[in-house]
Chains A and B, each alone.
Chain A
Amino acid sequence: MLPLRGLACLLLMQSLGEVLARSLSLPFPGPVVGMMLLLPALSWAAVREPVAACADALLQHLSLLFVPVGVGVMTHLALVSEYGLRMLLVIALSTFTGLAVTALVLRGLSRPQAAPKPQAGHD
């Protein structure tokens, strides 16, 4: 029952987020608003325990949830055949940029606190 109650909680928050986002014409997607609403509510054990049970199961299989959209590439074959190579290039380049900038900025900012002990040996 616990995960089911958790799912109800998540759906309720998503609906609430959707309603708020539409009625106030907020620039953010409904689920993001729902997540921000859920965050403070988690300090309440009656919400936290069911949500934790459901969220762990859901996030563990997160990658499966992307499959249906991923297969949707085939519906854009015209665009893909015309720009496919260039789109791939742009995606690869910008993803590497994002990963590298995030990692380097975070490491650069973390250094002063963590004593910069050079890690000898293996990498």
Chain B
Amino acid sequence: MTDFVQLWVYLSTTPLFGLTATLVVYLLAHALYTRWQQAPWANPVFWTVVTLAALLTLTGVPYPSYFSGAQFIHFLLGPAVVALAWPLWQRRAELHQRWCRLLLASLAGGLAASACAVGAGWALGLPTEVLLSMAPKLVTAPVAMGIAEKTGGIPALAAVFSVMTGLTGALAGKYLFDLLRIPAAGEGWQVRGFALGASSHGIGAARAMQVNADAGAYAGLGLGLQAVLVALWMPLLLGWLR
């Protein structure tokens, strides 16, 4: 028994544990997601996060020792943001043809979402650094962290808000689009995909890619475009407001 405890203490502090647990739990969650016909509520990221957080709490493994292994996965977010140039390049014809409306839609959506987050958060009495961390949450976590760092928010909190925003979009997007009568057919897929990518970044885009190829391509476009746009206007706007 003591041997087992010693072994566990050893294993739980090596990077091996965090990396293995993340991959295995994600693969299980993804298998269940596929089995349940990709229902929005079965989102693999959501259930992986919940399961891992519960696992860490139950076993008493502190987050930093989990992260020492999980950081290898986390690190790939940077190259993944650079890799977004690829879906943008593939859709350059559409981008060239429709850049004006895509740009306007991303700008309007981005401004509305950030203003709503900061306004509603302020009305509900959230502290300033929480508001600043919330403002860039509609873009992918590494970019949101970078923006929060520049504007005086808390990067780790910005990342968490970003993930939660992505999950909200992936979980509820379908129902919202049905409510707005955006058709789940033809050009409607492009609108749905673009809105998901532009407002709930990678997690929303991943959902769009699983549902429809056209929606997925537009989601990649929305995600890349929004990351660049928000990274451009938000630090400037917040600096000017101060």
Determine the interface band of chain A, counting residues with CB < 8 A from chain B: 35 or more
B70 → A minimal CB distance (Å)? 4
Is the beta-carbon distance between B231 and A96 smaller than 8 angstroms? Answer: no
Whose C-beta in chain A lies nearest to the C-beta of B148? Answer: A29
Do residues A94 and B105 form an inter-chain contact, with CB atoms below 8 A?
no
A65 to B161, CA, bound (A): 15
B143 touches A31 (CB 8 A): yes
Is B169 part of the binding interface, using a Cβ–Cβ cutoff of 8 Å? yes
Q: Which of A88-123 contact B (CB under 8 A)?
A: 88-107, 109-110, 114, 119, 123
B: interface residue count bin = 35 or more
A68–B121 alpha-carbon span in the complex (Å): 26
Q: Within residues 71 to 87 of chain B, which ones have a CB less than 8 A from any CB in chain A?
A: 71, 73-74, 76-87
The interface residues of chain B, by DSSP majority, are classed as helix
Which residues of chain B are within 8 angstroms of A99 by Cβ–Cβ distance?
Answer: 109, 169, 173, 176-177, 195-196, 199-200
Q: Which residue of A lies closest to B80 (CB)?
A: A58
Is A55 part of the contact surface with B, judged by Cβ < 8 Å?
Answer: yes
Pair A70/B79 contact, Cβ less than 8 Å: no
Of B3-11, B34-42, B221-229, the segment with at least 4 beta carbons within 8 Å of chain A is: B221-229
B52 at the interface (CB under 8 A from A): yes
Tell whether, in the assembled complex, residue B49 and residue A107 are in contact, meaning their CB atoms are under 8 Å apart: no
Are A94 and B83 in touch, CB under 8 angstroms? Answer: no
**Which residues of chain A in 10-61 are interfacial with respect to chain B, using CB atoms and an 8 Å cutoff?**
10-11, 13-14, 17, 27-32, 34-36, 38-39, 42-43, 48, 51-52, 54-56, 58-60
What 7 additional pairs, Cβ within 8 angstroms, besides A31-B79, A42-B89?
A: A29-B143, A42-B86, A62-B203, A69-B159, A102-B195, A102-B199, A103-B191
Interface residues of A (CB under 8 A from B): 7, 10-11, 13-14, 17, 27-32, 34-36, 38-39, 42-43, 48, 51-52, 54-56, 58-60, 62-76, 79, 83, 86-107, 109-110, 114, 119, 123
Sorted nearest first, the 7 A-B pairs with minimum C-beta distance are A29-B146, A98-B113, A102-B109, A98-B199, A68-B70, A94-B117, A55-B83
